[in-house]
Chain A
Amino acid sequence: MDGQARFQETGASLRSMGYGLGNSTRIWKHKGPTLETTTLARKEWVAEMDRIKSHRDQSAFAELFAHFAPRVKAFLMKGGTSEALAEEVTQEVMATLWTKAEMFDPARASVATWIFTIARNRKIDVIRKQRRPEPEELTWGPEAEPDQADVLSQQEEQEQLARALDKLPEKQRDLVMRAYYGDLSHSEIAAQTGLPLGTIKSRIRLALERLRHAMDTP
């Protein structure tokens, strides 16, 4: 299935479920490759991942490390982790990136997204000390060759999300970022701020709707 067909299917079912703001709002899976694709502002990192996968290229790993390790560390510290522990967990996350490089599928996620999921799972394990139930995998083992349109599509989605996030009003951008730092669950935020849980939830929903809207407006 190509990216376009998958998006249309998802978008349609979401609208019929009553998520989002009706016809004008689609989920932030974007519309497929456009002209912008040729002028990506950010580095893709997929090529570096390929070099690690195919010949354990340490210089490719060093480039990924230089870019992502300081961001993962900052992300963990924003979640309330001490600098020493954040440093240690970040090293573990980057080591996992190296050892599990074969599992990275650029047709399913961008490199940043994949690293985020590794960091999140480490955090649940080491810091929250809980197990992480994961959904059943759809397929076993990596596909022979990832579809290049899907790879591009993941990359473009990341670009658009970053732009949409920047367009959000300061307070809502902050709320979305905080929801992901994961220092507190929504009910813990409610307890701390004295606001009802329902209010926290509806604010987050509102911020997400805005984000979807921003994804739609060039």
Chain B
Amino acid sequence: MDIKHHLTDDVLVEYSAGTLPEAFSLVVATHISMCPTCRARMEEFDALGGTVVEEMDAMPMSDGSFEATMKRIANQPKDAIKMDAPTKRGLFPKPLQDYVGGDLDAVKWRPVGMGVKQAILKTSKDASVRLLYIPTGSAMPDHSHNGMEMTLVLQGAFEDEADHFGAGDVELADEDLNHTPVAVGPLDCICLAASDAPLKFNSLLPKVMQPFFRI
């Protein structure tokens, strides 16, 4: 896969530190599953986390904590250490399949107009993530952001005023960017998009409809 647009350092640090909202972590984990470069970078940021732990000034454990830990180990249910079965290779990498409950054919799409479909995935409420299906040649509804948005292309490609994004590419957009992405190429475009604020649609959907569509 020829990936040109990668995750930024500050996003990877937040993912490694575990402070990124779940919705964004899902996009990050899905991209890393497709991108050896960012996997290597993630491992380096994890190593930095290991160094931070190593550098801590020790905080003494309470009396009897070792014995208490041994007791915890003895009380652990035996089946707690089972590994997940490998996922069948499809369009979606494993972390995304875990949230969808399967591959592309398991997605419960809802039309949002102009041939565009979406499926919102269940995550913690501090941000939201959804799958988007945009027929090739169609535009995403014109919108601007009032937060951060992270979009990962899973199939096909899209273009906006700034650049071209193919399969595996990540676009990071903040409130300064007002863009109109258009799906291009032979395949319909399927994206995974996380946002930490409700999108403001400039056209197509009146504002009052937004809660209904949970955009």
B contacts with A, residue count (CB < 8 A): 67
* Distance, CA A115 to CA B62, complexed state (A): 20
In the bound complex, residues from chain B placing their C-beta under 8 Å from that of A29 are: 40, 44
Point out the residues of chain A lying under 8 angstroms from B37, CB to CB. 10, 13-14, 17
Q: Is B160 an interface residue (CB 8 A)?
A: no
Does B52 lie within 8 Å of A75, measured CB to CB?
yes
Do A90 and B48 contact each other (CB < 8 Å), given the known contacts A6-B40, A120-B18, A132-B18?
A: no
Tell whether A205 pairs with B33 under 8 Å between CB atoms, given A29-B40, A131-B22, A161-B51. no
Nearest residue, chain B, Cβ from A117: B46
Given contact pairs A69-B61, A161-B51, A186-B14, A19 touches B9 in the complex (Cβ within 8 A): yes
**Contact segment of B73-81, B110-118, B204-212:** B73-81
CA distance A112 to B53 in the complex (A): 7
Q: Which residues of B contact A112 (CB under 8 A)?
A: 50-51, 53-54
Q: Report whether A162 and B49 are in contact in the complex, using a CB–CB cutoff of 8 Å.
A: no
B161 at the interface (CB under 8 A from A): no
Q: Is the interface of B mostly helix, strand, loop or mixed?
A: helix
* Given known A-B contacts A123-B18, A136-B93, A136-B95, A75 and B69 have beta carbons under 8 A apart: no
- Set A68, A121, A179, A197: member contacting B13, Cβ < 8 A: A179
A39 to chain B, nearest CB (A): 18
B80 and chain A: residue at smallest CB distance = A99
Enumerate chain A interface residues (CB-CB to B < 8 A). 6, 10, 13-14, 17, 19, 27-29, 42, 58, 62, 65, 68-75, 77-78, 83, 86-87, 90-92, 94-95, 98-100, 108-110, 112-117, 119-121, 123-124, 128-138, 140-141, 154, 157-158, 161-162, 165, 176-177, 179-182, 184-188, 197-198, 201, 204-205, 208, 211
* 27 A-B interface contacts by CB (under 8 A): A14-B37, A28-B48, A69-B69, A70-B60, A71-B58, A72-B53, A86-B59, A87-B61, A99-B76, A99-B81, A109-B46, A113-B46, A115-B53, A116-B50, A129-B124, A133-B26, A136-B94, A157-B47, A161-B47, A162-B54, A165-B48, A176-B52, A179-B17, A180-B48, A180-B52, A185-B14, A187-B148
Interface residues of B (CB under 8 A from A): 6, 8-10, 13-14, 16-22, 25-26, 28-30, 32-33, 37, 39-44, 46-62, 65-66, 68-70, 72-73, 76, 80-81, 83, 86-87, 93-95, 98-99, 123-124, 148, 174, 196
